[in-house]
Amino acid sequence: MIRALWFLLKVAVVIAAAIWLADRPGTVSVHWLGYAVEAPFWVALLVTLAALGIAALGYRLLRGVIRTPQRLRRHSRARRRERGYRALTQGMVAIAAGDAPTARKMARKADGLLNEPPLTMLLSAQAAQLQGDERAARQYFEAMLERPETAFLGMRGLLTQAIKSGDRVEALNLARKARGLQPNTPWLLSTLYDLEAQAGDWAAAEGTLQQAIQSGAIPTEEGRRHRAVLLLERSFEAERRGRADAALSHAQAAHDMMPGFAPAAVRLARLQVAADRLKPAAKVVERAWRHAPHPELADIYRTIVSSYDALTRVRLFQKLVRQAPDSAESHLAVAQAAIEAQLWGEARQHLNRAMEIGPTRRTYRLMAELDRGERHDEEAAKDWLAQAAAPEDPVWTCGSCGAVSHNWGGLCGHCGAFDSLTWKTPTVAVPVMEPTDIPPALARPATA
């Protein structure tokens, strides 16, 4: 509607102008270089307007011609970028799909098309790693160190490579440098803590652990356990240096932090026995038994009560049953004391209960001992010992490499993992190791 009105208005203006001109007739005459042109005024006006129109058109054409190369250049740059980003995307998809040759090809292509080293270097490094070319990947990661925006990523790549190749000294070095770049990165804190613990740098590990818990990299409950393990390791170290008091106080702190953690209770009770503090040692075992009945606790308890006569020993062991009545360990511990006291009925009753809860080879061995002791029945004893179907007894098992040990330690003696041992029944044949006090990174050359 408005358009129609606008059009009518324009037509009206043109008509009015035409009428105005028609009402005022006249001529325009031009004398130039000996020529004389005479025309009515309205013709002269039309010619002038047409000349102006042609001049404007010519100017636009000329400008277009002059700007063409610049436009073409801009267009081809945009196309290059587009192709570069497409190659980058294809490269990343290839990485995700595990297609190393395509990833590398696309990385090279993107590198040639794009002027974005932070993006293409990472892709190139990942592609090289996927193809197993760790040397090339290393070169890319090192190149990334030179730019502030990629330095941390480069450091992470080198750190991962060092951990993978088992070079813990180099890994620790890199992790410490990376912490200088970004101090509160959760994955870095937990990695650094792990490396420091594996290197036996207990004090540094404790500081990093604290930071890792605060940043949420390690859950609080898991952090408590790690701290207890670190304290135990410091206790071992203090003992090696002949500082009995420090050894005892670290063990006490570990036990206070996790009263149900058997290794801490065993360690503390052992040190207390060595210091001739039998009563507190007995309390430690009884307290820990409630949460974690464990044969090593039973062993130390046997030492603690050894000065009593056999009958009193059985009575004291029954305290443990009251702490954890549903644990086979409780009944095995009393049964063993009862066999030593030649209380055969008592022993049999507890062994039967242990059988009900879940027999292991140790249960059968005690049954054999009972039949040998009570009835001098060698045949029955042999039968018990031949019970091949009985599950193996639990052992300390490394969650990282699967190696087993009869003794607990903070570091796996097979793979060097820190705080990786749990008390459980082995399911397959596994290497046997002794936990180590000496960090494997320093004890032997790094292996994968």
CA distance 224 to 11: 91
- Distance between first and last Cα of the chain: 83
Please provide the size of the chain in residues. 448
CB nearer to Zn ion: give 126 or 198. 198
Which segment (53-61, 78-86, 265-273, 411-419) binds Zn ion by CB under 5 A?
A: 411-419
Residue 447 CB, nearest distance to Zn ion (Å)?
13
Q: Which residues does residue 405 pair with via DSSP β-bridges, in sequence order?
A: 396
Q: Which residues does residue 395 pair with via DSSP β-bridges, in sequence order?
A: 424
CB nearer to Zn ion: give 189 or 403. 403
28-52 burial by CB neighbour count: b if 16+ within 10 A, else e? eeeeeeeeeeeeeebebeeeeeeee
Q: Residue 414, interface with Zn ion (CB under 5 A)?
A: yes
CA distance 299 to 297: 5
Q: Round the CA-based radius of gyration of the chain to a whole number and report it.
A: 43
Among 412, 419, 436, 439, binds Zn ion (CB under 5 A): 412
Quote the DSSP letter at residue 394: P
Backbone angles phi, psi at 57, to 5 degrees: -60, -45
Locate 402 and state its tokens: 């699967």
CB nearer to Zn ion: give 264 or 403. 403
Q: Residue 417, interface with Zn ion (CB under 5 A)?
A: yes
Please answer whether residues 208 and 196 qualify as being in contact, where contact means their C-beta atoms are separated by less than 8 angstroms: yes
CA distance 417 to 399: 9
Among 127, 230, 335, 415, binds Zn ion (CB under 5 A): 415
Element (H or E) spanning 415, and its range?
none
**Binding string, residues 89-128; x marks residues near Zn ion by CB under 5 A:** ----------------------------------------
CB nearer to Zn ion: give 168 or 250. 168
Q: Residue 197, interface with Zn ion (CB under 5 A)?
A: no
**Contacts (CB under 5 A) with Zn ion, residues 350-409:** 398, 400-401, 403
Residue 400 CB, nearest distance to Zn ion (Å)?
4
Residue 427 CB, nearest distance to Zn ion (Å)?
16
Residue 95 CB, nearest distance to Zn ion (Å)?
31
CA distance 367 to 385: 9
Q: Which residues does residue 436 pair with via DSSP β-bridges, in sequence order?
A: 411
Residue 416 CB, nearest distance to Zn ion (Å)?
7
Cα angle 333-315-349, degrees, rounded to a multiple of 5: 55
| Beta strand segments in 33-136, E | 35-40
From the CB of residue 207, how many other CB atoms can be counted at a distance below 10 Å? 12
Residue 202 CB, nearest distance to Zn ion (Å)?
19
Residue 203 CB, nearest distance to Zn ion (Å)?
24
Identify residue 21 by its one-letter amino acid code. Answer: L
Residue 436 CB, nearest distance to Zn ion (Å)?
10
The count of residues interacting with Zn ion (CB under 5 A) is: 8
Which segment (143-151, 253-261, 272-280, 415-423) binds Zn ion by CB under 5 A?
A: 415-423
Q: Look at the block and give the residue holding tokens 């009945």.
A: 293
CB nearer to Zn ion: give 155 or 415. 415
Q: Look at the block and give the residue holding tokens 């063990």.
A: 251
CA distance 182 to 229: 27
Q: Residue 144, interface with Zn ion (CB under 5 A)?
A: no
CB nearer to Zn ion: give 250 or 414. 414
CB nearer to Zn ion: give 131 or 400. 400
CB nearer to Zn ion: give 370 or 412. 412
CB nearer to Zn ion: give 151 or 401. 401
Residue 201 CB, nearest distance to Zn ion (Å)?
19
CB nearer to Zn ion: give 203 or 432. 432
Q: Residue 265, interface with Zn ion (CB under 5 A)?
A: no
Residue 166 CB, nearest distance to Zn ion (Å)?
13
CA distance 138 to 158: 7
**Which residues are near Zn ion by CB under 5 A?**
398, 400-401, 403, 412, 414-415, 417
